[in-house]
Structure 1
Amino acid sequence: MSTHESAATAAPTQQRVAQHRRYLMCRPEHFTVSYTINPWMEPANPTDTAVALRQWQDLYDTYLALGHEVELIDPIQGLPDMVYTANGGFVIDGVVYGAKFRFRERGPEGPAFMDWFAERGWDVREPVEVNEGEGDFLLVGDTILAGTGFRSTGDSHREVGEVFGREVVSLTLVDPRFYHLDTAIAVLDPVQGPEGVDHANIAYLPSAFDEASQAILAERYPDAIRVSDDDGAVFGLNSASDGYNVIISPRAAGFEKQLRERGYNPIMVDLSELLLGGGGIKCCTLELRAGR
């Protein structure tokens, strides 16, 4: 058994159920890399907007083919990173906790996303603390996993907990390649446990976290898929799941195998052009969780 897999990998596969999802996306019409705010961005390396658009369209079409809803926010000239909609907010039960970006280059995106939500009747909460939305906040069952270390501040973890009234578990990222939580953890599906307790399946890259955070994850999610550094380095964990279908990078071959062993259906979508900006499948996908 690989050292990157938990003992649960050898357990019988479970019957997975695809659940309907609703997403917000943004066409990369202005995609380019003109500045550097993460290790993936090299302005000297040319980008191809047409390729980015074609790859993005493949992801969009995949969601529709799976029966999911996708809404669109209009791209804005001069904001090439708007394609990474996951950073634009965090949405639970119709409430939107807005984003407040660390870097000035992305600063105008926060108000643009909040305006989009407000115009459509969502309950928007304007942030005080620096946070980058679903890039650093992941809903796992009833718990919010919250990342810090590079972008969102620790104070935003307190703030998001106050907005949603849920348990928040802080995790510290230590590898600059994995600067957002959604590059190091994938939420695969919620699982109904005994006595109505919500559990959830996740996958994660242990080396992206400090020792204290690794201990928290190992204790809370002993059955999690632990991916290899090789799969993490190609943004294999920056994926989207409906509980059965998991959209992943075609280069994450080990992760694909691990998912199949657990009864998931991995679907490969290549977003290599958008990775030049430091984003992948999940980065381009903000989940819209409407009120119950």
Structure 2
Amino acid sequence: MTHPRSRAYLLCPPTYFEVNYRINPWMDPTTPVDTELAGKQWQRLRETLAELGHTIHELPPAPDLPDMVYAANGGFVLDGIAYGARFRHPQRAAEADHHLRWYEQQGWRTHQPAEVNEGEGDFAWTGEVILAGYGFRTDPAAHREVQEVFGRPVLSLQLVDPRFYHLDTALAVLREGDAAQLAYYPGAFSPGSQRVLHRLFPNAVVADEVDAAAFGLNLVSDGERVVLNAEASGMAAKLAAAGYQPMPVELSELKKGGGSVKCCILELRR
């Protein structure tokens, strides 16, 4: 097991979080959201990351953009370059400008995308390869664009279950580098993509449908400590058996919008 590495993360407070439209199977505008509880749960997530030694940056939330709390979808940041988002649904489109403006203000090099993509929702960095999801939100053309922007190899993976509409709901990088290790739920992927994952990452932690439905793969790992949704107890047990230290955080309110730990966190990689 590698030693944990301090990370830099971007989060956005759920000040305006609510579920008043439906753009994924988890969202139900008729189910009440406890905004105060959502704020407390998000704050505990932020505190957990800080207690683990990670650096936290905050993106100011904007009125009328309730999904901004899912900061991971606003870009993909690698090698000091912030590749912006271009959202599939009009309800979230305005989030992209808020993200790019923040990166510019912080001195990051930025790239305005030409293709539809939802940032780290559909892009994951293994330390060697960019894993890229498509099927529901991000266009495959964005995979080619990302490869040109970063000059890094991109591996396309097809998502086929609408419940797992972003790559980060079905797959997570537990450890980066030459000995990269993933966790993923095979049923979220096409048969060909399942075979590719099995061949390239034979040491992966394989999740089941219960783990995935509890957002157990929507996690953040520093190579040793893994922050994940408290509901995903089965996934936590699998991670512990694989040598990781699970750090459960309760995010029941934010799950009502179709996201959990990873959706709230975008990694800033210099």
Determine if the TM-score, normalized by the shorter chain, exceeds 0.5: yes
Structure 1 residue 35 and structure 2 residue 21: aligned? yes
| C-alpha contact (below 8 Å) 2:79/2:150 kept by paired residues | no
Aligned to 1:80: 66
Residue 108 of structure 1 pairs with residue 103 of structure 2: no
Asked whether the 8 Å contact 1:239–1:281 carries over to 2, the reply is: yes
Q: What is the aligned partner in structure 2 of residue 3 from structure 1? A: none
Structure 1, unpaired ranges of 5+: 1-14, 192-197
Q: In structure 1, what residue type is equivalent to 2:109?
A: D
Q: Does 1:49 align with 2:29?
A: no
CA deviation after TM superposition for structure 1 residue 142, in Å: 1.4
Any residues of structure 2 matched to 1:1-292 within 5 Å, and which? Answer: 15-191=1-177, 198-290=178-270
Select the structure of larger CA radius of gyration.
Answer: 1
**Sequence identity of aligned pairs in percent?**
51
Q: Indicate conservation of the 8 Å contact 1:90/1:137, yes or no.
A: yes
Q: Which amino acid aligns with 2:155?
A: V
1:77-101 alpha-carbon deviations (Å, 9 max, x no partner): 0001000000000000110110000
Q: TM-score, normalised by structure 2?
A: 0.99
Q: What SS does the aligned partner of 2:56 have?
A: strand
CA distance in 2, matches of 1:190, 1:180: 20
Alignment check: 8 A CA contact 2:183 2:206 kept: yes
Matched pairs, number: 270
Deviation at 1:227, TM superposition (A): 0.6
Question: Matched residue of 1:267: which SS?
Answer: strand
For residues 92-131 of structure 1, give each alpha carbon's deviation from its aligned partner in whole angstroms, at most 9, with x where no partner exists.
0110110000000000001110011011110000000000
**Is residue 230–residue 251 contact of structure 2 (8 Å, CA) maintained in 1?**
no
What is the CA RMSD across the aligned residues, in angstroms? 0.8
User: Is the CA contact (8 Å cut-off) linking 2:73 and 2:85 kept in structure 1?
Assistant: yes
Q: Quote how far apart the aligned CAs of 1:203 are.
A: 0.3
Q: How far has the Cα of 1:250 moved from its partner?
A: 1.6
Give the distance between the partners of 1:219 and 1:251, measured in 2 at CA. Answer: 30
Please say if residues 219 and 261 of structure 2, whose CA atoms lie closer than 8 Å, have aligned partners that are also in contact: yes
Q: Distance in 2 between matches of 1:173 and 1:19?
A: 30
- Unaligned 5+ segments in structure 2 are none
Q: Deviations over 1:206-242 (max 9, x none)?
A: 0000101001100000010101110110100000001
Write out per-residue CA displacement over residues 131-154 of structure 1, whole angstroms, 9 at most, x where no aligned residue. 000000000121000000000001
